[in-house]
Structure 1
Amino acid sequence: MSDDLSAVDDAQLERWAYGRAGGDDNRAQAAQLELARRAEATRAAQAEAERIEAERAEAARRAAELSGDDKTASAHPPLTDNERRHRRRMLATGWAGVAAAALALVGGVAVLSQPDPDPLAIFERPATERDLLWAERLPANGLAGVTLGPRVVDLENGMIAIAFRAAAVADGTSTEWDPYCLVVSDPKRPDELWTVGGACVSPEQFARQGLIAPLSASASDGTIGPDSARWGPIGAPRLEQGVAVDFADLVGTSVIDRMVYTDPEPDTSIVDDPSRLLLGPTTLLAGETADSNSYVLASTYLLRSETEGGQPTFCVRVGADDGTSSTACALLSAVRQAGIDVPISAGGNTWNIRIDPDGPNRQDTLELLN
């Protein structure tokens, strides 16, 4: 008989596959394989439909958040880390589970396990001695504080990646805005060159595109190259060799994305109520006049709403060397849509600080107007 059973209905296939003993063994095995193939296809279609629906719901929530529509946004609450991890794992492993159960009927066909697609699965294992060593080493190199991890992951060429979350607030306070960070080290290099690359990204950038850390040199011969380490949005940290990194992927597309690197010596006195800090403060821009008679620094920070359930407030504080300062704040949703400008006059000069709205070509600029 023909090996193509795709046109045979399920009932007939089941009769051939599970009929009484003494039947055609070859036909029974072929029928079992066809039933297994159909079970896989059905599960795959269901998983894809669930994935599309999850992405649609998240996109709707994100669009509502960006528009400042609290009512619509509240109807689509963001997924927690655990929910996102569970959903990805279910979608990735559900099909394999059906395949394993179905194919077991025809002689114990092995289904190989795939790497866990959940980027946060590395934090579920107990800390090792290497992890604890890096937990001590990271803060000693100017980090405000580690709030999750670290976990050490072996990369190719003998390098290692250290994955963790860092404190969102410059004084070490942890909030829901804690960035995800990755440091890459080459154990074969001298201690003073303990890192060959690293980067941090906001939680929303991590969920959107993951983290990219360009590497300054390869581990094999020490030459400068285009290699990078990547982590998420799917999968554990890994090495990518010979892949160009887009600058836009590094700086991000949101007003929040560049605020993940907190100041090593934070000055929270520039904030009226430091207890409300969610992120920052981060020095974003600095400039001086040609004759050096005026110097300004621009810092940004995010504040928790004074009312429960309210939107965060985005602030820009500009300070000059003569003690002059200017601060402007607006709802984060408004800054995402329209950006924000902060003018300041100091030392007989006038400056304007511009924070562009969210978008692929956004910039933060400091301009001397006179």
Structure 2
Amino acid sequence: MSEDPSTADLAVVDDAQLAAWAYGRASSADEIDRAHRAALELARRAELAVSSAAAQTAGAPRAAARAAAPHETGTRTNAEPIEHEDEPEAGISIRGRIAIGAGVAVLLIGAVIASQALLAPRPSTATSLEIFDRAETADERALIGLFERAGERVSLGPRELGDVGFGTIVAYRSLVNSSGVQEPTLDLVCVAAAEFTQRTQNTTISNPTCVARAVFEQRGITTTLYGIGGQYDVEWGPQGSAELDVLISESQRLVMEPGYEAIFIDRPASELDEQYVAEQLLLESAGVNITQFRTLNPVEAFLVDNPDSRNEVPPDAEWLAAYTGEALDGSNKRACLAIVAAGEQLENSCRPIEEMASGTITLQFERGDWRMLTSWDPSGDISTFASNSE
């Protein structure tokens, strides 16, 4: 059997030292390579021992047969003693030798199998950074442009660590090589939150945080990422998967996924809107304690050629408005479309808050020859269709 050149330098090392190198903890590339070569050398020795044992056990039956046959010396009488060509050693029979040889073969074959098993990848030595060895997904590839626009250098990755609330926690590596230097002068392991905002239908990169690779390999990275849609706690060690947790405030939820309440986020409150809430102007006429209020358009704007003339609206004008409110005791929470004027509600259409996730509010009203239909859907869109009955 020819000797593997890769293990030639280990041929003179004893088995105990080889085993210590092969199966001990390896912390560097050189030690990992030495462990691999040591395991190969142990396997080579075990295979050689099996071959030698097999050769010895094959010759044993022939020796036993010769020992059992009579010694040919010519004519002999029954009184002559039978002499043997080979005499067994004291205390060990030929049968015993065969049995011992077979046992050694079994043990050595087991050693070969064990060595081969130990040459396979061991989960305990796998590092978290192996996540960058797999192929990227389409979603991960789409994030690269976002990192570039955010001014982040991504050398490897990004790779998803897990989805949490409105964010996907991703990891990436950032390497910087100085001119003429083979090893990177800056080697960082980073995490960030990629957050999708329902209202804008956009994904943004939030709060990238990095540590040096040497630090990561010792204790990993533990940090809190502060995004638009949540506070993300990340604990990602040198080995194993990341542990993720999230805290989402009500205001963050509304920003990321406002639903029917989008109108109150996207449209700044006017002085009139603030007055309706601060002075609870609908409490007397409608018995409603207002929690959120937005005027949308003056009714007159649907009837004239210049619908954007909000600055010319008189104080007592009729307004199409959207609001949320409840009874004084906090019950009967509802969302409403209404026509209001000078602090009074003239017409309205409402739905219970719990139905707004899947329901649409519609309000129909007429002014002169015009008929208006306004809709407020679960996504927060409010639209009005006007038609002339003439």
TM-score band w.r.t. shorter chain: 0.3 to 0.5
Report which of the two structures shows the higher radius of gyration computed on alpha carbons. Answer: 2
Structure having greater relative contact order (Cα 8 Å, sep ≥ 6): 1
Provide the TM-score with structure 1 as the length reference: 0.37
TM superposition score normalised by structure 2: 0.35
